[in-house]
Structures are given as structure tokens and as C-alpha cells.
Amino acid sequence: MRIRLATWNINSVRLRIDQVARYVAEQAPDVLCLQEIKCQEGEFPREAFAEMGLPHLAISGQKGWHGVAIASRLPFEPGPKLDLCRHGHARCVSVVVEGIEIQNFYIPAGGDVPDREVNPKFDHKLDFFERLTAIAAARDPKAPLLIAGDLNVAPGEFDVWSHRQMLKIVSHTPAEIEAMTRLMAAGQFIDLVREAVPEPQKLFSWWSYRAADFRASNRGLRLDHLWVTPGLRDAAFRLGAAAARVHDDVREWDRPSDHAPVSADLVI
């Protein structure tokens, strides 16, 4: 059985519901993890998702800001509720699909100043990572877990348009890279997209709206991730290689999100 999982920071699900429907029609994800839905649970366009063939919904919404959701073709059970955001933002939701725990995150961006002593937003971001790392370290790595979402860190030299220039910019600073590295080590996570597209190939999932032509400037960052624990290694590599990709063509659509969807296939 193949399960296609996708993650997408949609930057307002109601504003871009037609784009979601187009992506679902073209790529047929079985489970779609969304971030920045920017609506409360009662405002979520449930009927539209049912029409897409994704009727099973887990939603953690918030008025005007943040918000995450998981839409699935397959029935699921609720996953654990994780206490990760000290401000109580709607930044995480989880489900269990076909025995696979899926955790969907929108980790704080962190503001502009990469100093947790003077910037509470940056401190909040690192605190979120630290809490998640402690939870990951306490888990059995053989248990099937997939982490999806906008983790707001581009960890590698080839995940940013300019490693040298970005080292002082929030999203690629040493403190954030170290926090993500500790999280990956704690859960023994496998980065499926990088397994499919190895370094040194540059790979991005976000491009600023400021560029008139995002491909021409190509000043991107890889902020959106799909990771699995060793318990899902066989499922991820069943066909001999990881089947994961960034759907950067979606960034070309009219009035796009600044993020492109990322997908991966598991065979269980």
C-alpha cells in the first residue's frame, strides 16, 4: 500500500482553497499537512476538502494567525497533544494513519534578531525546538513516526541561496542549525527530501514575495520538511530510493503561497 504524504504552508487556506484543490487533483496526496491556515476550526472549508476526497480532518485553528490542519483520504485516530508552544499558539496537530503517527508543525519564525536574550521571538523558537527534542529523545525510534511541516530552519549549506550571507539571518543561523541538528539526532530522523535530492544540489521550498520572478532571483530557502524515524525507513525506501520532492511549479501559480508543497511516498 502506497501512502503519499504532503506538507504545505498554504498562507491562508480559505484564500487559496482553489490552489489546494488543484494540487490535490494533480498530485493525489493521501494525507495533506497544512500550516498557516489562518482561521479557526469553525471557519475551515470542510466541504471543499470532502469534495477533494480528503474528508477526514484534524484542525488546530487560531483567529487570523498560525493554525495547522491535517486532511486525509484515509480514516485516522487522534495523535498525542504535544505541549510545545509556551504561548498556546495553534502550531501543532497529530494523527495516526494506518499505524503511522504524523505530527504536523508550524514552528515559530523567530523574528529578525538572532539573539534569544534580546529577542523573545527567537527565544520562543529555540524553546519550541528544545521541547520537541526532549519528546523525540524519549520515544522509541523504531516506532513509526513522520514529522511534517514548516520548521522554519534551512539546515544545510545547500538549503539556502547563499550560505555565507544567510548565516547571520534568522532561519539559517548557527543557533537554529544546532537546534535542528539536536532534534534530528534525538529522534534519529531521516530527511526524506535530502535523501531523494542529495547535496550538493541546491533545494528550496520558500521564496520571498519581494522577487518579481522567483526563479530568476532564486533566493530561496528549504524551510519545509518531511522526516521519518528508523521505524519507517523500510517504508520510505521500499522502491529502492526515497520518493520525495519539492513541487516548486506550484509557486508559479496565480497568487501563490510563498511556500511550495513538499511530498513523499511511503509503501507499507
Give me the sheet containing 77-78, strands edge to edge. 77-78, 92-97, 100-106, 145-150, 224-228, 190-191
CA distance 258 to 80: 30
Tell me the residue type at 152.
N
CA distance 232 to 103: 14
H-only helix segments in 81-208: 120-138, 163-166, 174-187, 192-196
Quick check: 221 and 238 in contact, CB under 8 A?
Answer: no
Helix axes 174-187, 120-138, angle to 10 degrees: 20
For 40, half-sphere exposure in the C-beta direction (CA atoms, 13 angstrom radius) is 2
Q: Average pLDDT, stretch 178-198?
A: 98
C-alpha cell at 107: 514552528
- Could you count the other beta carbons within 10 Å of the beta carbon of residue 176? 24
Q: What predicted TM-score, i.e. pTM, was given to this entire model?
A: 0.98
pLDDT digits (tens, 9 = 90+) for 124-141: 999 999 999 999 999 999
pLDDT digits (tens, 9 = 90+) for 77-115: 999 999 999 999 999 999 999 999 999 999 999 999 999
Radius of gyration of the chain (CA): 17
Determine what percent of the chain is predicted with pLDDT higher than 90: 99
pLDDT digits (tens, 9 = 90+) for 139-158: 999 999 999 999 999 999 99
pLDDT of residue 212: 83
Query: In the structure, what pLDDT confidence band is assigned to residue 26 with cuts at 50, 70 and 90?
Result: very high
